[in-house]
Structure 1
Amino acid sequence: YFFMDRVLTADHVPWQMQPDGWIETAYDVPADAWYFTANYTSTLPFCILLEIALQPCGWLAAYAGSALHSEDRLHFRNLGGTARCIQEIPRDAGTLLVRVRMTDVSKAGAMILQSFDMQVSNHGQTVYEGTTRFGFFTAQALASQKGIQNCALVSDTPAVPREPFKVFPSVSPRTPADLSMDPDTGMPADALRMIDAIEVMDPSGGKFNHGYIRAKKTVDPKEWFFDAHFYQDPVCPGSLGIESFLQTLRYYLLETFSMDPSTHAVSPVLGDTHEWVYRGQIIPTHKEVTIHTHIRQVSQENDIYAVKADGALCVDGRVIYEMKNFGLAFAPVGLKKTGDHLTRIFAPV
């Protein structure tokens, strides 16, 4: 789960943990990458795009000598960000260039907090841009995280029925290394599917009265991503937590509009700003992840079916992620998805 091939330039002064110049990195998108197969799409899944944008921040933090400012072993974690997706990225995109710079640094005891600007471009066009925050923490600090307190997205939600609304069957490829492929069901295959079941599907519920979905995933300590993210630091990538939330939107559209995956492909909603906050982590000793999704808006126009939502992710009952104003759409297969096709779908709220 590493998406950074080389560093092209570094205008930041090495070993200086301070705001400074830009670095530029490159990632060559393999046209036959496992994530296209597992997602049943010919465009880059959002979780991969987010990692492409964020991972150079980690390189820059190391280049600046951040961990050398503490005698303790530190763990690097994303804390959140604000960004917007400007264009879809097809499987034949070739090289993505990423520019990041450190914009702020603060230190309190062993904890270090850093802010970054980030830009992803393809063939000279910006495709994703935003700001993000990271922190260096001791193991003790991570273990004592209390999560997000008083989260309105998990209060007053419907009771969970005895039987789930939908249980997803196992579908190949089951891991990134699996070369087999089952027919497209509209949802990702096991290698990328981050929810096991939809527990609640309430079309008129939620904080905005446009729909509420509750999904769950059992934590498997042997799952591939625990060993594929940070070296000797097994943790579920935060981007896959956001992916679990986006998959509830994907299922909502499939169920609500009876989408046919042979005629419509999943796509991001372009141009709108989204936000995420992380205040905890998913590690192999955890038992269950729960996702609460509140539909903000639904659109059905020009054969494009789209939804926008806020959400929260809990692990073993503790709220650790919040996601705001994320959008997802199903658009006709082959539709050119730059320009206005998937932008300005939703009027400002």
Structure 2
Amino acid sequence: MSLRCRLPGPRALSAALFVLVTGSTGASAHVKWFCAFDVAGSPVGLAEVLCDSFEQLVIVSLLALFVGALLERTILGEAMMRSLDRVTAWARENTELMFRAVCGGFFVSLWTLGGVILTPELTTTSTALPWFQLAIAAGFLWRQTMPLSALGIVVLFGIAVANYGVFHLADYPVFLGVAAYLALTGLRRELFGIRPLDIVRYSAAVTLMWASVEKWAYPQWSYPLFIDRPELTMGFDGAFFMKAAGAVEFALAFALICTPLVRRLAAIVLAAAFVSAIFEFGKVDAIGHSPIIVAMVAIAADDVRVPLRVRQLATLPFGYGAALASFIGLYYGAHAALSAAGAL
């Protein structure tokens, strides 16, 4: 086991708690947009990822989720929900308008930049795609044409998959969630009883959980950022910081599929982290993260109430553990299979 995994127990726990509470501007920036990366390269071994400090980070994350779920059953939790309802009333009443405006601005920005498919590292030499993106933006002006714009997003996602592969685009299923929201909202329908906003929520959770595993698998991608901006690590060792940042992101992402208060608070923390990263990394980060920021605002404003049952609390550790094992296994398994097939 690597020596950098061996932090004293109390220090690792206190450091994990500090990162969990404060969040991370550096971890919220998408490293592929600002640093060199090599998806085909070998990831950090699982033995090094699943070391003592990782177990402590998972425990702290799970405790934070458990405390949040317990809080929801109290008078204080109910008061927090009512306060959130009041503060987010405008966003809740204008969720569709926010999505249309932000997505319209996003695709106008891509049209202006040129040479980008959906995100900064997904480049293209096509001269037709920018005009296609402008057409997608125009479709958000009318509700009736929103499904066509949503279809355009799916087409762009398919082009990106064809050019960069499924494994690379596994970073971005949130775009498909946003497309589903726009299409269903334009048609005034649900998907087998699932609300359009819930589809965005699930896709955002999957996106961020996958991204957190990537932080554990390829922490070295972020090291150049830490050299240029050492303050991003908040004084921690870079390797441990990336492990802690991944644990924070995974916990917050998992929280998006949890009970109402927990997911609303998680969405607020995530939105704040993404917005704070803009001040550090500029307009590229602002443009790239705008769809997921508006999704977080919409989730934070969602006032749907679901009674919390004791059974949910009892199964929380198992659900979290299953999600953690599934995403780590899927990431490493898919990477190994695609590497063996020469598809990376």
Pair in the same fold by TM > 0.5: no
Structure that is richer in helix per residue: 2
Higher relative contact order (CA 8 A, sep 6+): 2
- The TM-score normalised by the length of structure 2 is 0.28
- The TM-score normalised by the length of structure 1 is 0.28
